[in-house]
């Protein structure tokens, strides 16, 4: 067994591998993280994402196939979730100070001035020329809501080139597990309790999977007694006023998990469950502000709630 | 009081006598047992330490260990370190550890709360600081879960 932990993508990561090639696998995994960060970070000068932003309203920017494909995937999630997830939310994040931790509450006039820049459908993609163009100065792309999920998938792929039997990743709490544990048991992934983040709501027993959680409980600031969470509603330019406190997506596809954990949080409980019923290619654990936990019936046998006294409601895939 | 006593002396209606019976024995044994269990509970870490192995609290900045101390201690311990953004204070008490103060705008680390088992961690991103718990002998441990999503 070999494990590394480090800071990258403005978060804390741990990568663990089991088997003869574990040391090489975790080293390769860590290197892949830095390589992706250099491509996709908005805060690294000369990154393709930064160049696209600097050329907003000026000219299209030629990017690599990898960057183009992930931006295209992010755009399609924006459209598929009716912009509950929006990769062009960056100017609003800047306005609230979530980009540089200089938190402030902007006026409605300031928000109204910036909000038209948040428009994933205005991003111009040319798949032949491999260019990305933001048509208005001030527009920006932030793949923060999807890059960790992408990185998780990529790191797993990189690690599996080595002689390992199993591995697990936590990229800032975005979890992926793969391979077979040496004791033959299935993986156990705990899901943090929003009321006490070092404790857990329950434990998911699973084979290879990504488990990605979003909530307002971790990153927020308070001003004049009011709490402002970091998950923004692209429709209002303000922190999402969701009736959910925690959204966990369970999926084979880390990009989907990352995008949907944010999107379903912004949607709120009813729309989130409706989205699940119309798509169905993932599983979830939701907790709402009344402390009720919602899980799909398909998960009922694999999710064991801890003794928090919270009610559990099982959701059918078809609706009632 | 005086009137009562006079009444008793004059009328002698009732003279309380104490007879120790089985029910009294059970009640007294129960009280003693409860007191003993309460004391055990309160002093459990002092008496037994960690049930199976000794744990230590490790505090790192940029991956380098700044200090490591036993999680189980009979007194409250506080440590203050200077990181990139100012001071970070760690408190270890009653088998739990927490970042209790930090000069950072987020305060995520302080809000994370207390940790007490292997695998849990408190992270201060702006300072690249991590507080975590490991077995003192470096052995692997059995935990209720492999990894936690948050």
**Could you read off the pLDDT of A35-51 as tens digits, one per residue?**
999 999 998 989 999 99
- Say if B62 is an interface residue toward chain A (CB within 8 Å): yes
Tell me what pLDDT residue B2 has.
52
Cross-strand partners of A215 = A246
> Residue B147: its chain A contacts at CB < 8 A?
168, 170, 175, 177, 187, 189-190
* Distance from C-alpha of A179 to C-alpha of A192, rounded to nearest angstrom: 23
Would you tell me which residues 67-106 of chain B have a C-beta closer than 8 angstroms to some C-beta of chain A?
104-106
> Residue A191: its chain B contacts at CB < 8 A?
148-150
DSSP string, A203-244: EEEESSEEEEEEESSSSEEEETTEEEES-EETTTTEE---SE
Low-confidence ranges of chain A (pLDDT < 50): none
Nearest Cβ partner for B112 among A1, A170, A198: A198
Tell me what pLDDT residue B14 has.
63
Neighbours of A79 (CB within 10 A): 12
Tell me what pLDDT residue A144 has.
87
Q: Which CATH architecture has domain B55-149?
A: Sandwich (2.60)
Sign of CA dihedral B105, B108, B114, B119: negative
Residue A203 has which token pair? 């434990």
DSSP string, B44-107: HHHHH-SSSS-EEEEEEETTEEEEEEES--SS-EEEEEEETTEEEEEEEETTEEEEEEESSSS-
Would you tell me which residues 238-297 of chain A have a C-beta closer than 8 angstroms to some C-beta of chain B?
248
* Distance from C-alpha of B85 to C-alpha of A195, rounded to nearest angstrom: 27
Buried/exposed B95-130: b ≥16 CB within 10 Å, e otherwise: bbbbbbbbbbebbbbbebbbbbbbbbbbbbbbbbbb
Contact between chains at A101 and B105 (C-beta distance less than 8 A)? yes
Nearest Cβ partner for A219 among B108, B115, B121: B108
Contact between chains at A101 and B126 (C-beta distance less than 8 A)? yes
Tell me what pLDDT residue A175 has.
97
Would you tell me which residues 68-87 of chain A have a C-beta closer than 8 angstroms to some C-beta of chain B?
none
- Say if A34 is an interface residue toward chain B (CB within 8 Å): no
Contact between chains at B150 and A181 (C-beta distance less than 8 A)? no
Residue B12 has which token pair? 């002698």
* Distance from C-alpha of A199 to C-alpha of A12, rounded to nearest angstrom: 18
Low-confidence ranges of chain B (pLDDT < 50): 1, 45, 49-51
Please report the number of interchain residue pairs, chain A to chain B, with beta-carbon separation below 8 angstroms.
Answer: 83
**B13: CB partners within 8 A, 6+ apart:** none
């Amino acid at each position: 067994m070999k494990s590394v932990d480090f800071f990258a993508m403005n978060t804390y990561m741990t990568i663990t591998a089991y088997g003869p090639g574990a040391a090489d696998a975790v080293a390769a995994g860590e290197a892949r993280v830095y390589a992706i960060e250099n491509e996709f970070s908005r805060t690294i000068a000369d990154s393709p994402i930064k160049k696209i932003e600097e050329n907003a309203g000026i000219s299209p920017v030629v990017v690599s196939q990898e960057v183009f494909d992930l931006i295209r995937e992010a755009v399609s999630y924006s459209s598929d979730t009716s912009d509950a997830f929006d990769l062009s939310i960056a100017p609003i994040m800047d306005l609230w100070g979530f980009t540089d931790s200089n938190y402030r509450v902007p006026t409605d006039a300031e928000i109204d001035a910036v909000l038209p820049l948040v428009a994933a459908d205005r991003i111009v993609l040319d798949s032949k020329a491999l260019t990305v163009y933001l048509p208005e100065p001030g527009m920006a792309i932030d793949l923060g809501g999807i890059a960790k999920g992408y990185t998780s998938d990529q790191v797993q792929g990189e690690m599996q080139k080595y002689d390992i039997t199993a591995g697990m990743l936590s990229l800032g709490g975005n979890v992926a597990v793969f391979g077979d544990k040496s004791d033959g048991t299935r993986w156990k992934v705990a899901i943090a309790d929003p009321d006490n983040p070092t404790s857990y709501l329950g434990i998911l027993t699973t084979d290879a999977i990504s488990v990605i959680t979003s909530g307002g409980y971790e990153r927020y600031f308070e001003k004049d007694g009011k709490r402002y969470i970091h998950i923004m509603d692209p429709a209002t330019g303000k922190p999402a006023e969701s009736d959910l406190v925690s959204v966990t997506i369970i999926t084979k596809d880390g990009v989907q998990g990352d995008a949907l954990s944010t999107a379903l949080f912004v949607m709120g409980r009813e729309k989130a469950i409706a989205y699940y019923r119309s798509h169905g290619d993932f599983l979830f654990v939701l907790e709402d502000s009344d402390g009720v936990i919602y899980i799909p019936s398909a998960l009922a046998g694999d999710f064991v709630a801890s003794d928090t006294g919270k009610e559990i409601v099982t959701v059918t895939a078809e609706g009632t | 009081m005086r009137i009562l006593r006079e009444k008793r002396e004059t009328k002698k209606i009732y003279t309380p006598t104490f007879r120790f019976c089985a029910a009294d024995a059970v009640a007294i044994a129960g009280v003693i047992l409860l007191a003993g269990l309460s004391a055990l509970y309160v002093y459990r870490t002092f008496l037994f330490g960690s049930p199976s192995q000794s744990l230590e609290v490790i505090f790192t900045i940029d991956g380098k260990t700044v200090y490591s101390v036993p999680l189980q201690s009979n007194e409250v311990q506080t440590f203050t370190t200077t990181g990139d953004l100012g001071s970070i204070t760690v408190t270890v008490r009653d088998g739990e550890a927490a970042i209790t103060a930090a000069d950072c705008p987020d305060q995520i680390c302080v809000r994370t709360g207390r940790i007490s088992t292997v695998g849990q961690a408190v992270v201060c991103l702006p300072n690249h600081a991590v507080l975590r718990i490991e077995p003192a002998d470096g052995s692997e441990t059995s935990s209720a879960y492999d990894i936690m999503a948050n």
